[in-house]
Amino acid sequence: MEEKLTQLKRILGQVNDLNHTNALLEWDQQVYMPEAGEDERGEQIATISELAHTLFVSDETGQLLEDLKGLTAVLEPYSDEASLVRVTAREYEREKRVPAEKVAEFARVTSTAHGAWAKARQNNDFKHFQPHLEKIVELVKEYAGYFAPYEHVYDPLLDRFEPGMKTVDVKAIFADLRPRQVELIKAITSRPQVDDSFLQQPFADQKQWDFGIMVAEKFGITWDRSRQDRTAHPFTTTFGQNDVRITTRVHEDLPTSALFSTMHEAGHALYELGFDPKHRRTPLSDAASLAIHESQSRMWENLVGRSRSFWTHFYPMMKEAFPSQLGNIDMETFYRAINKVEPSLIRVEADEATYNLHVMLRLEIEIALMEGSIQVKDLPEVWNTKMQDYLGLTPPNDSNGVLQDVHWSGGMIGYFPTYALGNLVSAQLWEKMHQDMPTLEDEIRQGIFNTMLEWLRINIHRHGAKYETQELVQKVTGAKIDPQPYLRYLTAKYSDIYAF
């Protein structure tokens, strides 16, 4: 058995190397690659994707997994060896259903689509992106078809990002969540609005960048294992356990945008940098799911970064960096301003109270696309109608509407629900963390985060993909995903800010 396990790890290591090479190519495409390189880059990514897929679903891999099945019966279920076989077998069974040529085609199409999306967004030209998205939707439907019969056509897509979760589960959670968030928003809007006018002026680009770098370092990012670059839509990517990259974008007239996206991406990076080194180059050295990933990014961005405790320490530094803009603004006024609740067009800039509504809107659209009840050509109109329904706003153009997110250009249909699920998980972990660490708020007020990071390393990060989302959340908090902690957090925070 030991020899077969070694053989399996050898194959998995090679697959891992190929996948990380692709990640490097995709990172370069979004950060530094000249525009004319799109077609060739698409071919490169397609070639490596097909090679990785073919190697992973080879007969040799399948036979090794079959031979190693006995491990899961004789070993402790969540031992490293049994977990490796279980998680690999789950991925193998999924990937085995998809033809290698379709993997290559999907990689080629989405690589080209990214450039088309970026250009369409820049020029407010949905029709430029439309044929690319139509092809992606066609391929995603084909992908789902490989998993029929299913309870819902969206299930195989959701499972790529949230293993074990079904569409019916997400709908049930959102059905419970939406009316309560709407009720909260109504309570907030009945109160006098927070003044954030002092934020609506230029804040120097480089100073914003430097402040974000400083905060990321305080959180625990070290630049010998990471780096930050600029891109159109912030993201985090991993090339190995000691090379995790983050990106951000800076708007001089949106002074907290770059900072909060840096916090968000730093949360993703800290998770990836915390995987157990002994799982390197295996499927266990990966996230449990995107909901767990988002729980980490949303926790650092919001529960830490938008807290009064955080700014008790960092606001004097912020004032020092921007004396002309903030010199006469006290910390409480600043804290209230960065937590202002107001329906907005852009998801990544949305406040905590309205953010989940953006996600629910996208989920409805994705399900309708997969069910065939709407067509890609109708998306701008559908988007605008749903924005009015959910948030009372109509985008002035498609760049601030249907084109604002990068995900569909990458074929990531099924991803968006994980953002809202991550919010819920972040609050559950936050409550448990405070139970285990009564001095946590005091430490945050002093700009100390190593105890918090260590708690996350022990309870979440080191496990990687060993547990599915619900298993991990229950293991750490004693309950499966529950909207109540998040609702308690929002209600307590905003009843304080808006006095209701």
How does DSSP classify residue 410?
G
Alpha-carbon gap, residue 285 to 241, rounded angstroms: 8
Tokens 């307590």, residue?
A: 492
DSSP count for the chain of H helices, then E strands: 21, 3
Alpha-carbon gap, residue 352 to 490, rounded angstroms: 8
Alpha-carbon gap, residue 212 to 214, rounded angstroms: 5
Candidates 50, 91, 265, 364; catalytic one: 265
Cβ neighbours of residue 220 under 8 Å, at least 6 residues apart? 270, 449, 450, 453
Alpha-carbon gap, residue 248 to 496, rounded angstroms: 31
Q: Which long-range contacts (CB under 8 A, 24 or more apart) does 63-70 make?
A: 64/4, 64/7, 64/8, 64/11, 65/8, 65/89, 65/92, 67/1, 67/4, 68/1, 68/4, 68/5, 68/8, 70/1
DSSP per-residue codes, 364-392: HHHHHHHHTSS-GGGHHHHHHHHHHHHHS
Report the chain's terminal Cα–Cα distance, integer Å: 63
Q: How many CB atoms lie within 10 A of CB 199?
A: 18
What's the alpha-carbon Rg for the chain, to the nearest Å?
22
Q: How many CB atoms lie within 10 A of CB 32?
A: 11
Question: Is 265 labeled as catalytic in the residue annotation?
Answer: yes
Tokens 């599915």, residue?
A: 468
Q: Which two tokens stand for residue 283?
A: 């499927």
Catalytic residues: 265
